[in-house]
Chain A
Amino acid sequence: MGNIHRLWFILILGVMCWGAGCGQRTGWAATVDSRTDLEEEADVLERNMAGHELVRMARLNEDAATAGAENHEAPSTAGKPSQNAEEAEAWPDDGYPEETLYPDPLEPMNRAFFAFNDAAYFWFFKPVAEGYSAVMPDVMRLSIRNFFTNLSMPIRLVSSLLQGKMKSVGIILVRFMVNTSAGFLGFQDVAKQALNYPVQDEDLGQVFAFYGIGPGFYLNLPFLGASSLRDTAGWVGGLYLNPLDYILEDWVPNLSTRAFNIVNNTSLRIGEYEALKDASLDPYVAMRDAYFQYRQNQIEK
């Protein structure tokens, strides 16, 4: 098991170092702690903008500053105070806060990996998953997913414990016992069907968030997809809690099982990524925002 973990660490570290190097070269990632986030963001923006964009940004800043004043002037100019009040209420947290909360200093690298993942999906994973689902009936694929979900119980158990979510801990334990025995090693999700105990989506990234650690910045990693610094750290930590790595210690069977799991999961989710891409004007930004919103929702649960 030492082997496989060393491999993961080298992979992740390599990607991060390369990403950081990328950032240094392009002047994206140099951050000084003493400065406020807002200054930082403005700086990052400035360094990467051409002259005309700077002018536009300045204008935007001005507008943001006068927005409040405009609202007060409204009755005399537009004569529609109610409408203005309504508009102000519609986006109270306008402008900067969200962007500074979820920074993306490695955007060039992330975009490159996003393009890579996009190609990997359409040229490899999707055709393979489609071929696989043609020969594997739905019921089998669902059972296989159930099995892997049941197997990764320790990650959810430890994460719930560390957050003090005792109800979740109980549900996870009952689920594991019921599904492993009555559900034939977890192939059947009896606990969901009979007891209506759903899967408790907990992971170490959420534990870090529970203790007040922010997402750091956005990461889009090859094969792993959308993540953040915090959630990637959580994912790596989760490897130690995944029984799969203790059962299959050699990296060939380990990676082939993982690949199989990925293909199986992909076969059950064909169309989701296409839908996102289809509905968005900038799929990269859409994915990044969806990731942060989705995680925020999970964390708050």
Chain B
Amino acid sequence: MRRYENVPCGRSILCGALLMLILAAPCFAGAPTEDIKQTTDRILIVVSDPALKGPENEKKREKLVRQAVDERFDWEAMTKRSLARHWQKRTDSEKKEFITLFGKLLERTYMDKVGSYSGEKVIYTDESTDGKYATVTAKILTHSNTEVEVLYRLKDLNGDWRVYDISIEGVSMVNNYRKQFNSIIVRSSYNELVKKLKEKVAEKD
């Protein structure tokens, strides 16, 4: 501490601020990106951990990944947005049931994607925050040398950024499910949709 005593206070603050700027500039280290990164890294550690390799560890691996995913993804918001105008007509128990089922399906889908992970690079390229909402853009470099653009949409839930939609190459998952749900409900019924969803979840287990 003593060595810096001769440096005027204002200048040291300026230096500090400059240093911070320089360090912060290359990486968009905002809170939403940090949260996404933290979850993704946690999953990647589980997936690439040699101690957890092999089919005998599948259950353990799945549990750890599921924990990480559950903490970051807001299943209720996803369900709400996917059912859209059909959401308000549901009873509370129907809502609860649907969130669980849909969450399971999404979890499985996500898990399958993670399961096929083999060292692809993830680069966080952009972030924008607008009040309680934020988007984080990432690029995944695949082995066949193509870049896949992934956009996370997040919402601030009591200081915690939670994902409510993922777009891959401009295809929003929530929009896609909304079209499917709407099509099924309009053509047959909500019960039919639940039946189909149950079948889908069961076939994957």
Give me the interface of A with B, judged by CB distance under 8 Å.
53, 56-57, 60, 63-64, 67, 70, 87, 90-91, 94-95, 98, 138, 142, 145, 189, 192, 198, 268, 271, 275, 278-282, 285-286, 288-290, 293-294, 296-298, 300
State whether the Cβ of B41 lies closer than 8 Å to any Cβ in chain A. no
Inter-subunit contact B147/A293 (CB<8 Å): no
A94-B85, A296-B170 given as contacts; is B113 within 8 A of A282 (CB)? no
8 closest cross-chain pairs (CB), A and B: A297-B170, A289-B179, A279-B109, A293-B171, A91-B84, A285-B183, A290-B171, A285-B180
Other-chain contact of A293, B85, B109, B176, B204 (Cβ < 8 Å): B176
- Give the nearest-CB partner of A52 in chain B: B189
Query: Chain A's interface: helix, strand, loop or mixed, by majority?
Result: helix
Inter-subunit contact A87/B80 (CB<8 Å): yes
Residues of B within 8 Å of A268, CB to CB, are 144
Inter-subunit contact A286/B81 (CB<8 Å): no
A275-B112, A281-B193 given as contacts; is B170 within 8 A of A294 (CB)? yes
State whether the Cβ of B99 lies closer than 8 Å to any Cβ in chain A. no
Inter-subunit contact B109/A278 (CB<8 Å): yes
A281-B180, A281-B200, A285-B183 given as contacts; is B109 within 8 A of A87 (CB)? no
Q: Shortest CB–CB separation between residue A243 and chain B, in angstroms?
A: 23
A281-B184, A293-B171, A294-B170 given as contacts; is B85 within 8 A of A91 (CB)? yes
Inter-subunit contact A278/B180 (CB<8 Å): no
Bound Cα distance from A188 to B65, whole angstroms: 38
Bound Cα distance from A275 to B197, whole angstroms: 16
Q: Shortest CB–CB separation between residue A82 and chain B, in angstroms?
A: 12
Bound Cα distance from A56 to B181, whole angstroms: 15
Bound Cα distance from A67 to B193, whole angstroms: 23
A91-B84, A94-B85, A281-B197 given as contacts; is B172 within 8 A of A293 (CB)? yes
Inter-subunit contact A289/B81 (CB<8 Å): no
| Given A63-B89, A64-B85, A280-B180: 16 more A-B contacts, CB < 8 Å | A57-B186, A67-B85, A90-B80, A90-B81, A91-B81, A94-B85, A198-B147, A268-B144, A280-B176, A281-B180, A281-B197, A289-B175, A290-B176, A293-B175, A293-B176, A294-B169
